[in-house]
Structure 1
Amino acid sequence: MDNHTLETAHPPKFIAVEGPIGVGKSSLAKKLAASFSCDLALEKADENPFLEHFYTHTNQSALPVQLHFLTERAKQWNELSQNELFSTGVVADFMLEKDRLFAKLTLTDEEYKLYDQMYQSLAIQTTKADLVVYLQAPVNTLQSRIRKRGIKHEKNISGEYLQKLSNAYTEFFHHYDSGPLLIVNASDINPVDNDEDYEQLLKHICSTRAGRHYLNPLPIL
């Protein structure tokens, strides 16, 4: 898709890319922001001081890692909500709703009560993305991509945890109805590394204005 096509297609102003760890959210968000000449908002996972310990001692670090993510994501989301209407557009590699998804997955009942109290105490803006791009991939694909990018603390992420996380995402988006949703099979379609797949994705993004849509490869006959 050339620049003229992108200019006339008018992509959604606020795009959020979501999916489990290793699926390619950040890489795709960077590529989309460059294509649409808009702002990029990346969550700062590498700045969480508790994250590395979490992957080796989950029970000990789940609450501090989640509270740190909550405060940082809430701050970023509030900034997006305040600024995106006045910008040339925004692509983010996270949704604020993902925070509760991770919290429910990792926290005990008592810890979640404390987390929820803190969540309720934050003045979080409720601006919704104009389009959510949800990337799906099986656990073996996620593990392969995690190994490929070689982040030290991620080597301890178990397949069991990734499966639970993938299931939680599937459940969340099964009920998602807050706006347009594009579900992408990111296992057989690789819009980050494959130009043809990326062009196909761009066309879907620029044409999706309402409802739930799917981007899957055509079967080989």
Structure 2
Amino acid sequence: MIGEEESLKASKSCSTGQSSSRSGLLTMDQKHSSSDIFISISGLIGAGKSTLATKLAEKMGLPCFYEPVMDNEYLADFYKDPARYSFPLQIYLLNRRFQQHQSIIWQGQGGVQDRTIYEDSVFARVLMESNLMEEREYRTYLSLFSNMSNFMKKPNLIVHLDVSPEESLRRIKNRSRDCESSITLEYLQNLHKAYEVFIADIARIIPVIRVNYERFRTTEEMADMIVR
């Protein structure tokens, strides 16, 4: 997939990692210098990224960088008219996540990021393949991402939350955000398929832990599994 290939190119200088479900992927050296730790949480809409990011940041004493949702001036319009607003939304999100990366670099305190900038390409690709984004817009998006990638800090670890499209939709309905009311199961299924390819590819470059949320009683248990 073109988007995932661009993400991989942006991460080439990082040491090889393997997708894993085992705990404790943070090394002892990393744990003792948590100011250098940068962890990204990935997953479908409604997977529980923000909740885990908060708990993980608390446990490790790191700042948390949340996905721009409540203050996103394009999100509601996008769900009403995806074809019109898909490109400006993706550019807006790319810019905001790039700003977060710059903050992590310049503040020098590490951080936990609620959704990684690399997985934005998953959404852009699905939108293009669904004819909701023009191919020229998609190429422009990838070119901009490639240029930005020269100034980005790669995560030490990506924690991917495995949630089925059906469970994702159930959680979306339960949290009842007006802007998400038009999300369909088909859209989530397409995202899920694209995520499988993305995670398999990015795990060759950045260490990945895949976590099934349903295996844990609490978010705290999950955070403990990651840092112990």
- TM, length-normalised to structure 2: 0.75
Q: Secondary structure at the match of 1:18?
A: strand
Provide the rounded CA distance (Å) in 2 between the counterparts of 1:143 and 1:40: 25
Give the unaligned 5+ runs of structure 2.
Answer: 1-27, 128-132
Q: Percent identity?
A: 28
Amino acid of the structure 2 residue aligned with 1:55: Y
Number of positions where the alignment pairs a residue of Structure 1 with one of Structure 2: 192
1:41-190 equivalences under 5 Å are 41-83=65-107, 86-87=108-109, 89-106=110-127, 107-122=133-148, 124-176=150-202, 177-186=204-213, 188-190=214-216
Aligned partners of 1:9 and 1:206 also within 8 Å:
no
In the TM superposition, residue 123 of structure 1 has moved relative to its aligned partner by 6.6
Larger radius of gyration: 1
- Residue 211 of structure 2: SS of its match in structure 1? strand
SS at match of 1:43: coil
CA contact (8 A) 1:25 1:135 kept: yes
Q: Distance in 2 between matches of 1:120 and 1:8?
A: 31
Report the counterpart of residue 220 of structure 2 in structure 1: 198
Q: Could you tell me whether the CA contact under 8 Å between 1:18 and 1:93 is conserved in 2?
A: yes
1:182 corresponds to which letter in structure 2? I
Task: Please tell me the residue identity of whatever aligns with 2:212.
Answer: N
Aligned residue type for 1:164? N
Deviation for aligned residue 1:124? 5.0
Shift of 1:134: 0.3
SS of 1:134's equivalent in the other structure is strand
Q: Give 1:35's match in structure 2, choosing from 59, 78, 84.
A: 59
Amino acid at match of 1:157: I
Q: Which runs of 4+ in 1 moved over 6 A?
A: none
Q: What is the rounded CA distance, in whole Å, between the counterparts of 2:142 and 2:50 in structure 1?
A: 27
Deviations 1:61-109 (A, max 9, x none): 11111111111111111221333xx32x411112111122211121221
TM-score normalized by the length of structure 1 = 0.78
CA pair 114-93 structure 1, distance change in 2 beyond 3 A? same
Gaps of 5+ in 1: 1-6, 208-221
